[in-house]
Chain A
Amino acid sequence: GAVVSQHPSRVICKSGTSVKIECRSLDFQATTMFWYRQFPKQSLMLMATSNEGSKATYEQGVEKDKFLINHASLTLSTLTVTSAHPEDSSFYICSARGRLAHLYNEQFFGPGTRLTVL
């Protein structure tokens, strides 16, 4: 299957700072990327959907000015958590959907990034 990577895998930052998380599709071109957040013992919650070259579409209740998403190329999307606070501590997971026909139905997930805000 196709591979999606995330960097960093873990990050600890101070309250008020900004953190950038990268999501890359390693062996396919991703026309659509998704960002999810998962709190302990809870399910994944979709935050936003981004298409290459377009502005991201945010789910209801997700602040677009706080969670900046950039999908500048077919292999890279970034999520920046601006002015992070302890309540933003969570497991952030990206997902990518491919352009090629045999990958088009499938959504591949990255390994996740554990963010801890002190």
Chain B
Amino acid sequence: DAKTTQPTSMDCAEGRAANLPCNHSTISGNEYVYWYRQIHSQGPQYIIHGLKNNETNEMASLIITEDRKSSTLILPHATLRDTAVYYCIVRVNTNAGKSTFGDGTTLTVKP
């Protein structure tokens, strides 16, 4: 599975959009981009995933560049409860696929 690179930490003002970048320059054609987050002392929570098209759900939007070498997770209106470590993962969508976690981005939402 391809590796990802994320900034170590980011701050965001409450109510503003949080844009979390992820680089995955070695992504393969059959690998999906997944985003999870982990609030302190809890298990990771699935947020969103995509292959090449932009995706949106009730939690967030995922923007994937045309060359698929990077992506951005957007939390449109960040709240204090969105403070967490956000992980960007790339993996295949088969039985062989497994999520390998990097260091993630610690997002701190400030009042």
Q: Which of B34, B36, B43 has the most CB of A within 10 A?
A: B43
- Report chain B residues within 8 Å CB of A108: 46
Q: Flag if B98 contacts A111 (CB, 8 Å).
A: no
Of B14-22, B75-83, B99-107, the one touching chain A: B99-107
Given the complex of chains A and B, what is the CA–CA distance between A86 and B41 in angstroms?
19
Considering only CB atoms and an 8 Å cut-off, how many residues of chain B contact the other chain? 21
Find the B residue at minimum CB distance from A1.
Answer: B46
Contact B104 A107 (CB under 8 A): no
When A and B form their complex, what is the total count of cross-chain residue pairs whose Cβ atoms lie within 8 Å?
51
A side interface size, CB within 8 A: 26
Contact of A44 among B32, B44, B45 (CB under 8 A): B44
Residues of B with Cβ closer than 8 Å to A? 32, 34, 36, 38, 41-46, 49, 87, 93, 95, 98-104
